[in-house]
Amino acid sequence: MLDDALAQIPRFLTHLKSERRLSAHTSSAYQRDLAKFVAFCDHEQLNDWPELDTHRVRAFAAREHRQGMTSASIQRRLAAVRSFCNFLLREGVLRINPGVDIKAPKGRKRLPQTLDADQMARLLEFRTDDRLDTRDKALMELLYSSGLRLSELVQLDLMDLDLKDRTVRVLGKGSKTRIVPVGAHAITALGLWLRERVALAGPEETAVFVGRNGTRLGARAIQLRVARWARLQGIGIPVHPHMFRHSFATHLLESSHDLRGVQELLGHANISTTQIYTHLDFQHLAKTYDAAHPRAKRKG
Protein backbone atom coordinates (compact mmCIF):
# COMPACT_ATOMS: atom_id res chain seq x y z
CA MET A 1 0.00 0.00 0.00
CA LEU A 2 1.29 3.46 -0.85
CA ASP A 3 2.70 5.56 1.98
CA ASP A 4 0.32 8.45 1.32
CA ALA A 5 -2.62 6.05 1.74
CA LEU A 6 -1.34 4.90 5.13
CA ALA A 7 -0.88 8.53 6.18
CA GLN A 8 -4.68 8.92 6.26
CA ILE A 9 -5.01 6.68 9.32
CA PRO A 10 -3.14 8.92 11.83
CA ARG A 11 -5.19 11.86 10.56
CA PHE A 12 -8.36 9.84 11.11
CA LEU A 13 -7.33 8.97 14.69
CA THR A 14 -6.67 12.66 15.37
CA HIS A 15 -10.14 13.38 13.99
CA LEU A 16 -11.67 10.87 16.43
CA LYS A 17 -9.97 12.50 19.38
CA SER A 18 -10.28 16.19 18.57
CA GLU A 19 -13.51 16.46 16.57
CA ARG A 20 -15.65 13.47 17.57
CA ARG A 21 -14.27 13.52 21.12
CA LEU A 22 -14.27 9.74 21.43
CA SER A 23 -12.62 8.20 24.46
CA ALA A 24 -9.01 6.99 24.35
CA HIS A 25 -10.31 3.44 24.78
CA THR A 26 -12.57 3.69 21.71
CA SER A 27 -9.85 5.34 19.61
CA SER A 28 -7.41 2.56 20.54
CA ALA A 29 -9.98 -0.06 19.54
CA TYR A 30 -10.48 1.67 16.16
CA GLN A 31 -6.72 1.76 15.67
CA ARG A 32 -6.40 -1.98 16.33
CA ASP A 33 -9.31 -2.82 14.04
CA LEU A 34 -7.95 -0.67 11.23
CA ALA A 35 -4.54 -2.32 11.59
CA LYS A 36 -6.23 -5.66 10.87
CA PHE A 37 -8.02 -4.12 7.89
CA VAL A 38 -4.80 -2.62 6.52
CA ALA A 39 -3.08 -6.00 6.80
CA PHE A 40 -5.95 -7.53 4.83
CA CYS A 41 -5.72 -4.79 2.17
CA ASP A 42 -1.97 -5.41 1.85
CA HIS A 43 -2.68 -9.10 1.29
CA GLU A 44 -5.22 -8.13 -1.36
CA GLN A 45 -2.58 -5.86 -2.99
CA LEU A 46 -4.68 -2.74 -2.64
CA ASN A 47 -2.50 0.20 -3.72
CA ASP A 48 -4.63 3.16 -2.70
CA TRP A 49 -7.92 3.87 -0.91
CA PRO A 50 -9.91 4.80 -4.06
CA GLU A 51 -9.49 1.14 -5.11
CA LEU A 52 -11.43 0.02 -2.03
CA ASP A 53 -14.82 -1.43 -2.94
CA THR A 54 -17.75 -3.28 -1.36
CA HIS A 55 -16.40 -6.64 -2.48
CA ARG A 56 -13.17 -6.17 -0.52
CA VAL A 57 -14.93 -5.01 2.64
CA ARG A 58 -17.27 -8.02 2.46
CA ALA A 59 -14.29 -10.32 1.89
CA PHE A 60 -12.63 -8.83 4.98
CA ALA A 61 -15.69 -9.62 7.12
CA ALA A 62 -15.87 -13.13 5.67
CA ARG A 63 -12.22 -13.80 6.46
CA GLU A 64 -12.65 -12.65 10.07
CA HIS A 65 -15.65 -14.97 10.38
CA ARG A 66 -13.69 -17.95 8.99
CA GLN A 67 -10.95 -17.28 11.53
CA GLY A 68 -13.46 -17.70 14.35
CA MET A 69 -14.14 -14.09 15.30
CA THR A 70 -17.52 -13.47 16.93
CA SER A 71 -20.27 -11.56 15.18
CA ALA A 72 -20.01 -8.69 17.68
CA SER A 73 -16.26 -8.34 17.11
CA ILE A 74 -16.66 -8.39 13.33
CA GLN A 75 -19.39 -5.77 13.58
CA ARG A 76 -17.07 -3.59 15.66
CA ARG A 77 -14.33 -3.90 13.04
CA LEU A 78 -16.78 -3.04 10.28
CA ALA A 79 -17.89 0.00 12.27
CA ALA A 80 -14.27 1.15 12.38
CA VAL A 81 -13.95 0.62 8.61
CA ARG A 82 -17.21 2.52 7.91
CA SER A 83 -16.16 5.39 10.14
CA PHE A 84 -12.76 5.57 8.44
CA CYS A 85 -14.40 5.53 5.00
CA ASN A 86 -16.72 8.37 6.06
CA PHE A 87 -13.61 10.33 6.97
CA LEU A 88 -12.09 9.58 3.55
CA LEU A 89 -15.33 10.75 1.94
CA ARG A 90 -15.07 14.03 3.81
CA GLU A 91 -11.46 14.39 2.70
CA GLY A 92 -12.40 13.78 -0.93
CA VAL A 93 -10.40 10.55 -1.14
CA LEU A 94 -13.48 8.34 -1.71
CA ARG A 95 -16.69 9.05 -3.63
CA ILE A 96 -18.80 6.40 -1.85
CA ASN A 97 -18.53 4.48 1.41
CA PRO A 98 -18.02 0.81 0.43
CA GLY A 99 -18.72 -0.41 3.96
CA VAL A 100 -22.21 1.04 4.36
CA ASP A 101 -24.28 -2.04 3.55
CA ILE A 102 -21.89 -4.69 4.87
CA LYS A 103 -23.10 -6.51 7.98
CA ALA A 104 -21.45 -9.12 10.13
CA PRO A 105 -22.84 -12.67 10.12
CA LYS A 106 -25.48 -13.03 12.80
CA GLY A 107 -24.19 -14.63 15.93
CA ARG A 108 -25.69 -15.88 19.13
CA LYS A 109 -26.71 -12.91 21.26
CA ARG A 110 -25.02 -12.94 24.64
CA LEU A 111 -27.26 -11.96 27.51
CA PRO A 112 -25.84 -9.77 30.26
CA GLN A 113 -24.78 -11.55 33.43
CA THR A 114 -26.41 -10.17 36.56
CA LEU A 115 -26.61 -10.71 40.29
CA ASP A 116 -30.05 -11.17 41.80
CA ALA A 117 -31.20 -8.85 44.60
CA ASP A 118 -30.16 -11.27 47.36
CA GLN A 119 -26.68 -11.74 45.89
CA MET A 120 -26.24 -7.98 45.51
CA ALA A 121 -27.33 -7.39 49.10
CA ARG A 122 -24.86 -10.01 50.34
CA LEU A 123 -22.04 -8.49 48.29
CA LEU A 124 -22.63 -5.02 49.71
CA GLU A 125 -23.08 -6.04 53.33
CA PHE A 126 -19.54 -5.94 54.69
CA ARG A 127 -17.82 -4.11 57.51
CA THR A 128 -15.61 -1.17 56.66
CA ASP A 129 -12.60 -1.54 58.93
CA ASP A 130 -10.32 0.91 57.13
CA ARG A 131 -10.32 3.73 54.61
CA LEU A 132 -10.00 1.51 51.56
CA ASP A 133 -12.90 -0.67 52.69
CA THR A 134 -14.99 2.49 53.12
CA ARG A 135 -14.01 3.63 49.64
CA ASP A 136 -14.81 0.25 48.10
CA LYS A 137 -18.25 0.14 49.68
CA ALA A 138 -19.01 3.66 48.46
CA LEU A 139 -17.98 2.98 44.88
CA MET A 140 -19.86 -0.33 44.70
CA GLU A 141 -22.99 1.18 46.24
CA LEU A 142 -22.80 3.98 43.66
CA LEU A 143 -22.28 1.56 40.77
CA TYR A 144 -25.42 -0.36 41.74
CA SER A 145 -27.47 2.64 42.85
CA SER A 146 -27.00 4.65 39.66
CA GLY A 147 -26.05 2.11 36.98
CA LEU A 148 -22.77 3.77 36.08
CA ARG A 149 -20.27 2.45 33.59
CA LEU A 150 -16.81 1.76 34.99
CA SER A 151 -15.32 4.57 32.88
CA GLU A 152 -17.96 6.97 34.22
CA LEU A 153 -17.13 6.03 37.80
CA VAL A 154 -13.39 6.47 37.25
CA GLN A 155 -13.72 10.00 35.87
CA LEU A 156 -16.15 11.28 38.53
CA ASP A 157 -15.00 14.51 40.18
CA LEU A 158 -16.14 15.95 43.50
CA MET A 159 -18.11 18.68 41.73
CA ASP A 160 -20.19 15.97 40.00
CA LEU A 161 -21.66 14.77 43.31
CA ASP A 162 -24.62 16.50 44.96
CA LEU A 163 -25.34 14.52 48.10
CA LYS A 164 -27.93 17.03 49.28
CA ASP A 165 -29.90 16.71 46.04
CA ARG A 166 -29.07 12.96 45.87
CA THR A 167 -27.82 13.11 42.29
CA VAL A 168 -24.63 12.55 40.35
CA ARG A 169 -23.67 14.17 37.06
CA VAL A 170 -22.14 11.66 34.66
CA LEU A 171 -20.14 12.14 31.47
CA GLY A 172 -21.13 9.19 29.30
CA LYS A 173 -20.31 7.92 25.84
CA GLY A 174 -19.95 10.56 23.15
CA SER A 175 -19.29 13.16 25.86
CA LYS A 176 -23.01 13.22 26.68
CA THR A 177 -23.88 14.39 30.20
CA ARG A 178 -26.75 13.00 32.24
CA ILE A 179 -28.00 13.48 35.79
CA VAL A 180 -28.71 10.24 37.68
CA PRO A 181 -30.37 9.75 41.09
CA VAL A 182 -28.33 8.28 43.95
CA GLY A 183 -30.02 5.92 46.43
CA ALA A 184 -30.05 6.25 50.21
CA HIS A 185 -27.50 3.47 50.86
CA ALA A 186 -25.08 5.00 48.37
CA ILE A 187 -25.55 8.47 49.87
CA THR A 188 -24.64 7.12 53.33
CA ALA A 189 -21.62 5.20 52.00
CA LEU A 190 -20.40 8.22 50.02
CA GLY A 191 -20.72 10.49 53.03
CA LEU A 192 -18.53 8.15 55.08
CA TRP A 193 -15.98 7.86 52.28
CA LEU A 194 -15.69 11.62 51.67
CA ARG A 195 -14.76 12.10 55.32
CA GLU A 196 -12.03 9.46 54.97
CA ARG A 197 -10.91 10.74 51.56
CA VAL A 198 -9.48 13.92 53.10
CA ALA A 199 -6.66 11.91 54.70
CA LEU A 200 -5.69 10.26 51.39
CA ALA A 201 -6.25 12.68 48.51
CA GLY A 202 -3.65 15.17 47.38
CA PRO A 203 -4.56 18.86 47.75
CA GLU A 204 -5.09 19.32 44.01
CA GLU A 205 -6.86 16.00 43.37
CA THR A 206 -10.46 16.37 42.14
CA ALA A 207 -11.35 12.68 41.75
CA VAL A 208 -14.08 11.27 43.98
CA PHE A 209 -12.29 7.93 44.34
CA VAL A 210 -8.54 7.85 45.01
CA GLY A 211 -6.00 5.14 45.79
CA ARG A 212 -3.37 4.78 48.50
CA ASN A 213 -1.14 7.29 46.74
CA GLY A 214 -3.87 9.95 46.82
CA THR A 215 -4.44 10.09 43.05
CA ARG A 216 -7.41 9.06 40.92
CA LEU A 217 -8.28 5.38 41.22
CA GLY A 218 -7.90 3.52 37.92
CA ALA A 219 -10.27 1.10 36.24
CA ARG A 220 -8.04 -1.94 36.78
CA ALA A 221 -7.74 -1.27 40.51
CA ILE A 222 -11.54 -1.08 40.78
CA GLN A 223 -11.94 -4.36 38.89
CA LEU A 224 -9.53 -6.10 41.25
CA ARG A 225 -11.20 -4.71 44.38
CA VAL A 226 -14.68 -5.71 43.20
CA ALA A 227 -13.48 -9.24 42.39
CA ARG A 228 -11.81 -9.45 45.83
CA TRP A 229 -14.99 -8.47 47.68
CA ALA A 230 -17.04 -10.96 45.66
CA ARG A 231 -14.70 -13.75 46.80
CA LEU A 232 -14.71 -12.58 50.43
CA GLN A 233 -18.51 -12.34 50.48
CA GLY A 234 -18.94 -15.84 49.03
CA ILE A 235 -20.80 -14.82 45.87
CA GLY A 236 -19.54 -17.93 44.08
CA ILE A 237 -19.14 -16.44 40.59
CA PRO A 238 -16.63 -13.96 39.14
CA VAL A 239 -17.97 -10.42 39.55
CA HIS A 240 -16.87 -7.42 37.51
CA PRO A 241 -17.97 -3.76 37.76
CA HIS A 242 -20.27 -3.85 34.72
CA MET A 243 -22.41 -6.50 36.43
CA PHE A 244 -23.58 -3.76 38.80
CA ARG A 245 -24.92 -1.83 35.81
CA HIS A 246 -26.59 -4.94 34.38
CA SER A 247 -28.15 -5.72 37.77
CA PHE A 248 -29.29 -2.10 38.22
CA ALA A 249 -31.11 -2.16 34.87
CA THR A 250 -32.67 -5.60 35.35
CA HIS A 251 -33.91 -4.95 38.90
CA LEU A 252 -35.30 -1.56 37.92
CA LEU A 253 -37.17 -3.01 34.96
CA GLU A 254 -38.60 -5.80 37.11
CA SER A 255 -40.06 -3.22 39.48
CA SER A 256 -41.04 -0.36 37.18
CA HIS A 257 -41.55 -1.85 33.67
CA ASP A 258 -40.50 1.59 32.40
CA LEU A 259 -38.14 0.80 29.54
CA ARG A 260 -37.84 4.43 28.44
CA GLY A 261 -36.99 5.54 31.96
CA VAL A 262 -34.28 2.90 32.31
CA GLN A 263 -32.93 3.92 28.89
CA GLU A 264 -32.53 7.50 30.12
CA LEU A 265 -30.86 6.44 33.37
CA LEU A 266 -28.39 4.20 31.54
CA GLY A 267 -27.62 6.84 28.93
CA HIS A 268 -28.41 4.56 25.98
CA ALA A 269 -28.80 6.39 22.67
CA ASN A 270 -31.04 3.63 21.27
CA ILE A 271 -33.78 1.85 23.18
CA SER A 272 -32.90 -1.43 21.43
CA THR A 273 -29.75 -1.50 23.57
CA THR A 274 -31.88 -1.29 26.71
CA GLN A 275 -34.28 -4.00 25.55
CA ILE A 276 -31.71 -6.72 26.17
CA TYR A 277 -32.45 -6.36 29.89
CA THR A 278 -36.04 -7.47 29.44
CA HIS A 279 -34.94 -11.10 29.06
CA LEU A 280 -34.73 -11.56 32.81
CA ASP A 281 -38.22 -10.24 33.38
CA PHE A 282 -40.02 -13.29 31.96
CA GLN A 283 -40.52 -14.99 35.32
CA HIS A 284 -42.06 -11.86 36.79
CA LEU A 285 -44.30 -11.44 33.74
CA ALA A 286 -45.45 -15.06 33.97
CA LYS A 287 -46.47 -14.57 37.60
CA THR A 288 -48.33 -11.37 36.70
CA TYR A 289 -50.10 -13.18 33.85
CA ASP A 290 -51.12 -16.12 36.05
CA ALA A 291 -52.44 -13.79 38.74
CA ALA A 292 -54.30 -11.34 36.50
CA HIS A 293 -55.51 -12.95 33.26
CA PRO A 294 -59.05 -14.42 33.48
CA ARG A 295 -58.08 -17.46 31.41
CA ALA A 296 -54.80 -18.04 33.27
CA LYS A 297 -56.12 -18.83 36.75
CA ARG A 298 -55.31 -22.38 37.70
CA LYS A 299 -58.09 -24.60 38.93
CA GLY A 300 -57.74 -25.79 42.48
Specify whether 277 is catalytic: yes
* Of 197, 245, 246, 251, catalytic: 245
Q: Is the dihedral of CA 80, 83, 89, 91 positive or negative?
A: negative
- CB within 8 A of 63, min separation 6: which ones? 40
Active site residue 246: no
Catalytic site residue from 82, 122, 173, 257: 173
Would residue 77 show up in a list of annotated catalytic residues for this protein? no
State the catalytic residue, choosing from 58, 63, 166, 242: 242
Tell me if residue 245 is catalytic. yes
208 and 157 Cβ atoms separated by less than 8 Å? yes
Marked catalytic residue, from 56, 135, 149, 251:
149
Cβ distance 8 to 91 under 8 Å? yes
Q: Which of 58, 63, 131, 268 is catalytic?
A: 268
The active-site residue out of 56, 197, 225, 277 is 277
DSSP string for the chain: --HHHHTHHHHHHHHHHHTS---HHHHHHHHHHHHHHHHHHHHTT--SGGG--HHHHHHHHHHHHHTT--HHHHHHHHHHHHHHHHHHHHTTS-SS-TTTT--PPP-PPPPPP---HHHHHHHH-----SHHHHHHHHHHHHHHHHT--HHHHHT-BGGGEETTTTEEEEE-GGG-EEEEE--HHHHHHHHHHHHHHTTTS-TT--BSSB-TTSSBPPHHHHHHHHHHHHHHTT--S---THHHHHHHHHHHHHHH--HHHHHHHHT-SSHHHHGGGGGGGHHHHHHHHHHH-TTTPPP-
CB 178 within 8 A of CB 266: no
Annotated catalytic residues are 149, 173, 242, 245, 268, 277
